[in-house]
């Protein structure tokens, strides 16, 4: 029974070379992907994206107007946080709020408190109902926008008059200030509103559409002239682009987050625990060899067909068949006991007299028990089975 | 390559110094960098798995129910000691359910340049060949932080033979055989027995056995003794078709039939008869022919080891033709099949006369004790319907058996535990009657 096996080279793990041969295609594809991504990123990195960005050369950027202003000696500074925008307000500064609707209500209030009576100019580009009433109190936006884009000045504001018609059509505003300039009206509602501050010579300009500062529209109509006069009235222009990285979006002062409250030791300790969990996952993930497959034999019980037949009888309420089967079996067993040949076990004329002679009993109940009609209900069937058993016991008793 | 739990534990403990003294990236780095270096050292110091040399030796066959020991010899040719966790994988049926993980995993330490043996103990749960799968070895470094892992494939096969549990009936059946064999004084004379010798009459002998001619020549009364014929041919035919797949108790019908066939083969070979085996469903699955008495049991168990029931209807015509080709002259053909009405009436009955014309035919069938239990069920509606269905099945079985008997076939119908002795008794009865 014991024999010795000869040792061939038995290792089936792939060698380093095999691993490299198998995986180099994937590695190559991944490197290509990374290279392409790097090339694309490098090629397109100079073009800054984002509408109304004074650094962007896109059709919807505003580099053209910023450069024109620089030619006229106006410096442009881009700020992205509220704090920077607030500190930048001064009498010599124009503050352009590129997308006032992106500011939260609290930011709007803070910005307004900084710009009101600062002496500088505040230009709000297309503020909607959400922001205009906070940033320029007394001005409200009409829910219906103007039909056309190019409008005529139709007011006494010198900048508007000298610029002539311009693409200011967009949101239309009404104001309750009596001394406000309402220009470029569309259906009697102005799309450019200048509200002077109550004190000082600062003012707030509400612009219905950003078109006049877009690169691609700057050379049309009087857009360039209007933009230069609105934004170039002060030596400095602060271009406020609201951003998501602005921490003033969250209400720092009022409530601190959970992570700010727990000590940093806990946070770093948890990070290290995550590292440990990752290592534990790697430890548990590596299995000690694959599962071994095996062909399983079929498992059918030999009695399955009989059980199935029993369930069919039950479902069909086949009391007649069941009773016949039970009676026939009992008759076959009883016949040899009372001296009747098995071939004649199913003839009542032979079996019943032999049985009643053995039991000294009546023939009639025996006849109905062994050869009678099928029982009317299930209780009758159960009783029949019990009576047949009792009869057999009676016959077998010595 | 694989990490260990110790690495993860150390990393988890590292969260304490990080949290208490240095809650920053520096702290994280200070904990994890030494851990990574330790892992790298461990990897470098672990014995390489690829260069290990593994060989197998040990048992190649085992009776079902016994244990087989397969030895795996691991030689470590490297200069680093091997500390390894090893899994010797075999198919799941090589072990009792639930014990496979404990039985297949081994811890082994092999110093540099030496070799060690480990023993995998198999306790198969089914007949057939068990092929060894791969051996996976995880070699740890001295710190047990990191490990190398690799697999080797060392082919080995263990053949699981039928258990032959009916061996326990063999002594009593052999005793019966000796009674027949003329070695005891009780002689039964039957048609077809052959003349053995003359001996002196002792009171109690059958007076019909007295040989008057011999008595005339000598002064005492001489009687003839007889012994059963020897060197008869027995062909065991195992039906491996769909009806043999049905499970009676825990095992398929085929296993019970094999057990009975093995007892009969052993008994017959001791009685001086020649035993052949044919396993058939739609083609020949196994054929054992012309073995000597000493050789017959090993060759039969070997041939039966890999037999599995096939889920096809048995081709009775082909079976008969093959049996007629295999059985040389008037033999005893023992057909181990089932007495279910449909396969017998449609398959076997039409071709049975071809067999019975030249041979003695014995049909052995495995009865299901569960059906007997069902037939006795009473009390509830379901139970009575079951009893009726079982009674119906039993009466069909009796009718089939009667049909076969009418063709001169001897029938043995018994539950798995009783089939083997019942078949042996039937064989002895046939032998005593000189019908072989």
Cα–Cα dist A75/A92, whole Å: 11
Q: How far is CA B399 from CA A96, A303, B395, in A?
A: 106, 18, 6
User: Does a structural domain hold residue B168?
Assistant: no
> Do residues B336 and B319 lie in contact, with contact meaning Cβ atoms separated by under 8 Å?
no
Cα dihedral value A138, A142, A143, A144, nearest 10? -170
Report the CATH number that the domain containing residue B334 is assigned in CATH: 3.40.50.410
User: Does a structural domain hold residue B189?
Assistant: no
Neighboring chain B residues of A2 at a CB cutoff of 8 Å = 57-59
Classify residue A287 as exposed, middle or buried by CB count within 10 Å of its CB (0-12, 13-18, 19+): exposed
The distance of A202 to chain B (nearest Cα, Å) reads 49
Q: Are B332 and B385 part of one and the same domain?
A: yes
Nearest to A190, CA basis, from A169, A211, A176, A204: A169
User: Which of A19, A265, A284, A390 is the best mutation test for B, with the most CBs of B within 10 A?
Assistant: A265
Cα–Cα dist B14/B30, whole Å: 9
Do B28 and A272 count as a contact with CB atoms less than 8 A apart?
A: yes
Do A329 and B395 count as a contact with CB atoms less than 8 A apart?
A: yes
Q: Is A3 on the interface with B (CB under 8 A)?
A: yes
Q: Is the dihedral of CA A153, A154, A160, A165 positive or negative?
A: positive
A190: number of Cβ within 10 Å? 26
Could you tell me how many residues make up chain B? Answer: 436
Nearest by CB: A382 against B50, B138, B381: B381
Neighboring chain A residues of B370 at a CB cutoff of 8 Å = 301-303
Nearest by CB: A276 against B11, B85, B155: B11
Cα–Cα dist B211/B231, whole Å: 26
The distance of B22 to chain A (nearest Cα, Å) reads 8
B187: number of Cβ within 10 Å? 19
- What is the domain range of residue B344? 233-432
Do B149 and A286 count as a contact with CB atoms less than 8 A apart?
A: yes
Backbone angles phi, psi at B224, to 5 degrees: -85, 140
User: Does a structural domain hold residue B177?
Assistant: no
Q: Are B260 and B397 part of one and the same domain?
A: yes
Question: Which of B112, B138, B161 is the last residue in one of the domains?
Answer: B161
User: Does a structural domain hold residue B351?
Assistant: yes
Neighboring chain A residues of B413 at a CB cutoff of 8 Å = none
Q: Is A13 on the interface with B (CB under 8 A)?
A: yes
Q: Are B397 and B262 part of one and the same domain?
A: yes
Q: Is A292 on the interface with B (CB under 8 A)?
A: yes
> Do residues B149 and A286 lie in contact, with contact meaning Cβ atoms separated by under 8 Å?
yes
User: Does a structural domain hold residue B185?
Assistant: no
Closest Cα in chain B to A289: B136
Nearest to B90, CA basis, from B79, B75, B74, B101: B101
pLDDT of residue A362: 64
Backbone angles phi, psi at B150, to 5 degrees: -155, 165
> Do residues A205 and A183 lie in contact, with contact meaning Cβ atoms separated by under 8 Å?
no
State the complex-level ipTM. Answer: 0.75
The distance of B211 to chain A (nearest Cα, Å) reads 42
Q: Is A270 on the interface with B (CB under 8 A)?
A: yes
Report the CATH number that the domain containing residue B141 is assigned in CATH: 2.60.40.10
Nearest by CB: A10 against B9, B58, B153: B153
Q: Are B353 and B215 part of one and the same domain?
A: no
Kindly report whether the global pTM for this prediction surpasses the value 0.80.
Answer: no
User: SS3 for B306-333, per residue?
Assistant: CCCCCCCCCCHHHHHHHHHHHCCCCCEE
Q: Are B242 and B221 part of one and the same domain?
A: no
Q: Is A310 on the interface with B (CB under 8 A)?
A: yes
Q: How many domains does chain B have?
A: 3
B212: number of Cβ within 10 Å? 8
Angle between the N-to-C axes of helices B381-406 and A319-337, in degrees from 0 to 180, rounded to the nearest 10 = 60
Q: Are B346 and B423 part of one and the same domain?
A: yes
The distance of A363 to chain B (nearest Cα, Å) reads 25
Do A265 and B393 count as a contact with CB atoms less than 8 A apart?
A: no
A335: number of Cβ within 10 Å? 21
Q: Are B132 and B237 part of one and the same domain?
A: no
Cα dihedral value B15, B19, B25, B29, nearest 10? -40
Neighboring chain B residues of A3 at a CB cutoff of 8 Å = 57, 60
Neighboring chain B residues of A320 at a CB cutoff of 8 Å = none
Neighboring chain A residues of B133 at a CB cutoff of 8 Å = 289, 292
Nearest by CB: A279 against B3, B135, B368: B3
Q: Are B150 and B63 part of one and the same domain?
A: yes
Which positions 138-157 of A are in contact with B (Cβ < 8 Å)?
Answer: none
Question: Which of B161, B176, B208 is the last residue in one of the domains?
Answer: B161
Neighboring chain B residues of A271 at a CB cutoff of 8 Å = 18, 28
How many CB pairs below 8 Å do chains A and B form together? 230
Backbone angles phi, psi at A18, to 5 degrees: -65, -40
**Which helix (H) or strand (E) covers residue B287, if one does?**
strand B284-288
Residues 6+ apart with CB under 8 A from A243: A80, A81
Q: Is A4 on the interface with B (CB under 8 A)?
A: yes
Q: Are B33 and B98 part of one and the same domain?
A: yes
Nearest to B397, CA basis, from B419, B417, B414: B414
User: Which of B91, B366, B388 is the best mutation test for A, with the most CBs of A within 10 A?
Assistant: B388
Neighboring chain A residues of B91 at a CB cutoff of 8 Å = 292-294
Q: Residue B321, CB half-sphere, CA atoms under 13 Å: how many?
A: 10
> Do residues A359 and A392 lie in contact, with contact meaning Cβ atoms separated by under 8 Å?
no
Cα–Cα dist A85/A97, whole Å: 9
Cα–Cα dist B299/B297, whole Å: 5
DSSP B254-273: HHHHHHHHHHHHHHHHHTT-
Q: How far is CA A152 from CA A124, A143, A155, A203, A226, in A?
A: 20, 21, 9, 22, 12
Nearest by CB: A314 against B12, B92, B382: B382
Neighboring chain B residues of A386 at a CB cutoff of 8 Å = 378
Q: Residue A200, CB half-sphere, CA atoms under 13 Å: how many?
A: 14
| Beta bridge mates, B86 | B106, B137
Residues 6+ apart with CB under 8 A from B381: A314, A378, A381, A382
Classify residue B75 as exposed, middle or buried by CB count within 10 Å of its CB (0-12, 13-18, 19+): middle
Q: Are B204 and B123 part of one and the same domain?
A: no
Cα–Cα dist A332/A342, whole Å: 6
Cα–Cα dist A168/A153, whole Å: 9
Do B395 and A292 count as a contact with CB atoms less than 8 A apart?
A: no
Nearest by CB: A300 against B247, B389, B391: B247
The distance of B150 to chain A (nearest Cα, Å) reads 5
Nearest by CB: B126 against A268, A290, A297: A297
Q: pLDDT 10s digit of each residue in chain B, 436 long?
A: 889 999 999 999 999 999 898 888 999 999 999 999 999 999 999 999 998 999 999 999 999 989 999 999 999 999 999 999 999 999 999 999 889 889 999 999 999 999 999 999 999 999 999 999 999 999 999 999 999 999 999 999 999 999 999 999 999 999 888 877 654 434 455 444 566 677 788 887 777 778 888 888 888 888 877 666 677 899 999 999 999 999 998 889 999 999 999 999 999 998 888 999 999 999 999 999 988 888 999 999 999 998 999 999 999 999 999 999 988 778 899 999 988 888 888 888 999 998 999 899 999 999 999 999 999 988 899 999 999 999 999 999 999 999 999 999 999 999 999 999 999 999 998 887 777 7
User: Does a structural domain hold residue B383?
Assistant: yes
User: Does a structural domain hold residue B68?
Assistant: yes
Neighboring chain A residues of B382 at a CB cutoff of 8 Å = 310, 314
Do B374 and A13 count as a contact with CB atoms less than 8 A apart?
A: no
Q: Is A332 on the interface with B (CB under 8 A)?
A: yes
User: Does a structural domain hold residue B167?
Assistant: no
Q: Is A267 on the interface with B (CB under 8 A)?
A: yes
Closest Cα in chain A to B94: A294
Q: Is A12 on the interface with B (CB under 8 A)?
A: yes
Nearest by CB: A288 against B18, B138, B366: B138
Q: Which parts of chain A have pLDDT scores under 70?
A: 1-8, 45-49, 247-255, 361-363
Q: How far is CA A172 from CA A268, B242, B336, in A?
A: 53, 89, 101
The distance of A260 to chain B (nearest Cα, Å) reads 14
pLDDT of residue A2: 43
Cα–Cα dist A216/A62, whole Å: 9
Q: Are B304 and B428 part of one and the same domain?
A: yes
Do A282 and B3 count as a contact with CB atoms less than 8 A apart?
A: yes
Residues 6+ apart with CB under 8 A from A309: B389, B392, B393
pLDDT of residue A13: 83
Residues 6+ apart with CB under 8 A from B162: B63, B64, B127, B255, B258, B259, B262, B301, B304, B305
Cα–Cα dist B54/B70, whole Å: 13
B421: number of Cβ within 10 Å? 18
Cα–Cα dist A273/A398, whole Å: 85
Geometric angle at alpha carbon A338, from B426 and A341, rounded to 5°: 60
Q: Are B260 and B330 part of one and the same domain?
A: yes
Report strand pairing: B332-337 vs B105-110.
Answer: unpaired
Cα–Cα dist B266/B275, whole Å: 9
Q: Is A265 on the interface with B (CB under 8 A)?
A: yes
Helices and strands in chain A: count of H runs, count of E runs:
14, 11
């Amino acid at each position: 029974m014991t024999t010795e096996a000869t040792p061939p080279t038995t290792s089936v793990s792939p060698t380093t070379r095999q691993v490299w041969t198998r995986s180099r295609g994937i590695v190559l594809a991944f490197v290509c992907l990374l290279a392409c991504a790097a090339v694309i990123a490098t090629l397109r990195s100079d073009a800054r994206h984002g509408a109304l960005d004074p650094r962007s050369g896109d059709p919807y950027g505003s580099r053209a107007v910023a450069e024109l202003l620089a030619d006229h000696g106006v410096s442009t500074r881009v700020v992205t946080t509220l704090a920077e925008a607030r500190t930048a307000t001064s009498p010599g500064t124009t503050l352009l709020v590129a997308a006032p609707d992106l500011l939260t209500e609290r930011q709007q209030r803070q910005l307004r408190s900084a710009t009101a009576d600062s002496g500088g100019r505040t230009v709000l580009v297309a503020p909607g109902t959400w922001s205009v009433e906070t940033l320029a109190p007394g001005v409200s936006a009409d829910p219906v926008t103007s039909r056309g884009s190019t409008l005529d000045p139709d007011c006494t504001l010198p900048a508007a008059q000298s610029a002539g018609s311009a693409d200011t059509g967009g949101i239309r505003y009404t104001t309750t200030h009596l001394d406000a300039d309402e220009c470029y009206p569309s259906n009697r509602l102005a799309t450019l509103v200048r509200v002077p501050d109550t004190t000082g010579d600062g003012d707030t300009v509400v612009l219905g559409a950003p078109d006049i500062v877009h690169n691609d529209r700057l050379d049309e109509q009087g857009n360039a002239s209007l933009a230069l006069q609105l934004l170039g009235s002060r030596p400095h222009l602060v271009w406020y682009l609201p951003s998501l990285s602005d921490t003033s979006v969250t209400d720092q002062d009022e409530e601190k987050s959970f992570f700010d409250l727990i000590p940093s030791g806990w946070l770093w300790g948890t990070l290290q625990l995550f590292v440990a969990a990752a290592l534990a996952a790697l430890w548990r993930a590596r299995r000690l060899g694959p599962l071994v497959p095996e062909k399983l034999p079929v498992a059918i019980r030999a009695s399955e067909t009989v059980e199935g037949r029993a369930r069919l009888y039950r479902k069909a309420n086949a009391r007649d068949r069941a009773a016949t089967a039970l009676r026939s079996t009992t008759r076959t067993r009883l016949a040899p006991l009372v001296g009747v040949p098995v071939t004649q076990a199913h003839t009542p004329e032979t079996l019943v007299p032999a049985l009643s002679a053995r039991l000294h009993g009546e023939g009639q109940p025996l006849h109905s028990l062994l050869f009678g009609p099928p029982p009317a209900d299930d209780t009758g069937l159960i009783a029949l089975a019990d009576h047949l058993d009792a009869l057999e016991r009676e016959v077998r008793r010595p | 390559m694989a990490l260990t739990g110790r690495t993860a534990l150390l990393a988890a403990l590292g969260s304490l110094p990080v949290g208490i003294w240095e809650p920053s990236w520096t702290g994280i780095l200070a904990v994890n960098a030494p851990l990574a270096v330790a892992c790298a050292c461990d990897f470098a110091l672990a014995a390489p798995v690829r260069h290990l040399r593994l060989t197998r030796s040990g048992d190649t066959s085992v009776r079902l129910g016994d244990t087989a020991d397969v030895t795996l010899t691991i030689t470590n040719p490297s200069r680093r000691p091997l500390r390894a966790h090893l899994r010797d994988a075999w198919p799941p049926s090589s072990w009792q359910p639930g014990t496979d993980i404990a039985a297949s995993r081994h811890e082994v330490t092999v110093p540099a340049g030496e070799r060690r043996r480990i023993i995998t103990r198999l306790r198969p749960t089914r007949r057939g060949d068990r092929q060894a799968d791969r051996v996976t070895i995880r070699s740890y470094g001295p710190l047990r932080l990191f490990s190398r892992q690799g697999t080797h494939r060392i082919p080995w096969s263990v053949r699981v033979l039928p258990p032959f549990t009916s061996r326990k009936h063999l002594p009593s059946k052999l005793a019966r055989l000796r009674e027949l064999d003329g070695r005891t004084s009780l002689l039964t004379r039957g048609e077809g027995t052959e003349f053995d010798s003359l001996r002196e009459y002792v009171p109690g002998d059958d007076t019909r056995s007295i040989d008057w001619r011999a008595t005339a020549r000598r002064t005492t009364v001489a009687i003839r003794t007889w012994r059963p014929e020897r060197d008869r041919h027995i062909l065991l035919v195992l039906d491996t078709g769909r009806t043999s797949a049905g499970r009676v108790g825990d095992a398929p019908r085929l296993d019970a039939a094999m057990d009975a066939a093995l007892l009969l083969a052993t008994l017959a070979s001791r009685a001086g008869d020649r035993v052949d085996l044919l396993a058939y469903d739609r083609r020949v699955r196994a054929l054992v022919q012309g073995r000597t008495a000493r050789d017959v049991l090993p060759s039969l168990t070997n041939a039966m080891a890999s037999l599995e029931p096939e889920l096809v209807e048995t081709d009775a015509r082909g079976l008969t033709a093959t049996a007629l080709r295999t059985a040389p002259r008037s033999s005893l053909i023992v057909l181990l099949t089932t007495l279910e009405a449909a396969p017998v009436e449609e398959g076997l009955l039409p071709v049975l006369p071809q067999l019975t014309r030249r041979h003695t035919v014995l049909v052995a069938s495995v009865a299901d004790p569960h059906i007997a239990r069902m037939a006795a069920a009473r009390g509830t509606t379901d139970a009575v319907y079951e009893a009726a269905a079982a009674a119906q099945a039993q009466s069909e079985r009796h009718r089939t058996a009667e049909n076969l008997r009418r063709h001169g076939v001897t029938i043995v119908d018994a539950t798995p535990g009783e089939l083997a002795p019942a078949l042996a008794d039937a064989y002895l009865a046939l032998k005593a009657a000189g019908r072989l």
